[in-house]
Amino acid sequence: MPKSKFSEYQTCGAAFQGALDALDVIGTWAWDGDSDRIQADLFVALLFNVDPEEAELGLPLAAFIAGIHPEDQDRVQTHFRRGGRDGGLYVIEYRVCSADGITRWVLGRGRFLHDHRGRPISGRGIIVDITDVRSGETAAGAVRMAEPHGTEPPLERAADFAMAAQRAICELEDPALKARADALLLDLGRKLAEQEQRLRRSQMN
């Protein structure tokens, strides 16, 4: 994607929203432990205000951290690093300063893998725009570290399997199958966001 197109997303709110509406999928990212770089799709790039072409090739973690709301940066980076160190799954909500200049709420869900020596080697996850869900709620972001893999609830397991299926289907280059896999991920992401909303409400009562 030409950089001029990225500039259009930054300066024209209609272009940015049109791009998100056209995508209508959950954003995905992949982290490489050796290089400490993240590869992300167009959806994630726009939300974090980074160039989509550079995000597709891989950018340092710091580039994505810079796109997070200043009040949430330390919290998100701490939990990302903790996830990389300890492994397993995490779910976190925070604000991003997107390419159109609007602050949006996102739900991030990721899983990190270690080698046989316990060193973090990779991580993958999804990003869901939950701005509408968070409208009118408090600014305190929720963080939840999930149970060990064997005891995860069905929704968490379903999201894991859907992510794996979506990655495999992308390799098939079958647009119809990919659309179905994307739609499933989108539905699961929304369910995860609703689950986090219910959890917050129960904690406030």
Q: Are 42 and 53 in contact (CB under 8 A)?
A: no
Q: Work out the average pLDDT over 56-66.
A: 94
Give yes or no for residue 65 having a pLDDT over 80. yes
The residue among 100, 160, 163, 93 whose CA lies nearest residue 129 is: 93
H or E element in which residue 108 lies: strand 103-114
Could you give the domains of the chain?
Answer: 3-145 (3.30.450.20)
Distance, CA of 40 to CA of 163 (rounded, Å): 14
pLDDT digits (tens, 9 = 90+) for 141-176: 444 444 444 456 777 777 776 766 766 776 777 777
Please tell me which residue, 95 or 186, carries the higher pLDDT value. 95
pTM of the model: 0.63
The distance of Cα 18 from the centroid of its chain, to the nearest Å, equals: 19
Q: What is the mean pLDDT of residues 91-114?
A: 86
When pLDDT is averaged across residues 2-12 and rounded to a whole number, the result is 47
Residue 4 has a pLDDT of: 46
DSSP 140: P
As a whole number of angstroms, the distance between CA 135 and CA 123 comes to: 30
Distance CA 102, CA 190 (A): 21
- Reported as a pLDDT band with limits 50, 70 and 90, residue 38 is very high
The whole-number pLDDT of residue 135 equals: 63
- Which DSSP helix (H) or strand (E) runs through 145? strand 143-145
Residue 154 and residue 159: Cα distance in Å, rounded?
9
pLDDT at 72: 94
Tracing tokens 């992300």 back to the chain, one arrives at 40
Phi, psi torsion values for 148, nearest 5 degrees: -55, 155
Instruction: Work out the burial of residue 136: count CB atoms within 10 Å of its CB; fewer than 13 is exposed, 13-18 middle, 19 or more buried.
Output: exposed
> What pLDDT score was predicted for residue 49?
92
Q: How confident is the model at residue 114 (pLDDT cuts 50, 70, 90)?
A: confident
Structure tokens at 52: 């989509």
- Quickly state the pLDDT bin for 79 (edges 50, 70, 90): confident
